[in-house]
Amino acid sequence: MLHRKVFCCMTEEIRQWLAKSTDDIENAQFLFDNRWPQPFELICFLCQQCAEKSMKAFLIHCNVEFPYTHDLRWLYKLCMKHSGAFEPFLDACQVLTPYAIDAKYPNQLEVDLPAATYALANAREIFNTAVAAITDE
C-alpha cells in the first residue's frame, strides 16, 4: 500500500504507525476476499484500527499530542484543526468508532456485508488522506 518513495519522506515513528495501519487494512481486505463465512466483526475492527493509526500518524506529523483513545471522532476533531482534508470522514468516524471495542466481544454488534464494505472503503480513504496530508507538505 505504501511505496518506498513515500516512506522516505517520513520519520521512523510515522512509518511505524502507517506500517501497522497498512497491515490492518490489508488483513481486513484479505479476510473480506478469502474467508467464508466472512468475519464481518473482525473486518470492521481492523478497519477501525487502520483509520485510528492513520489519523494518529498524521497527528504525530503535525506534532500534536493525542489522548490514548480509540474514539475516531475525537481524533477527527484534532485532525481537522490541521487539515480540512479529513472533513468528509465525520460520518465514517462515527460509524467506525464502536468497532474498536464492541466488535471484539460476542453479541455486541450485528455487522453485515454492507457495513463491512463501508468500513473497508472508508478506512482506506482515511489512510490515503492521512498519507497525502503527511507527504504533501
Model pLDDT, residue 9: 66
Per-residue buried b or exposed e for 35-60, using 16+ beta carbons within 10 Å of the residue's own CB: eeebbbbbbbbbbbbbbbbbbbbbbb
Mean of pLDDT values over 11-27: 96
pLDDT for 99-120, tens place per residue? 998 777 777 788 999 999 999 9
Q: What is the pTM of this model?
A: 0.92
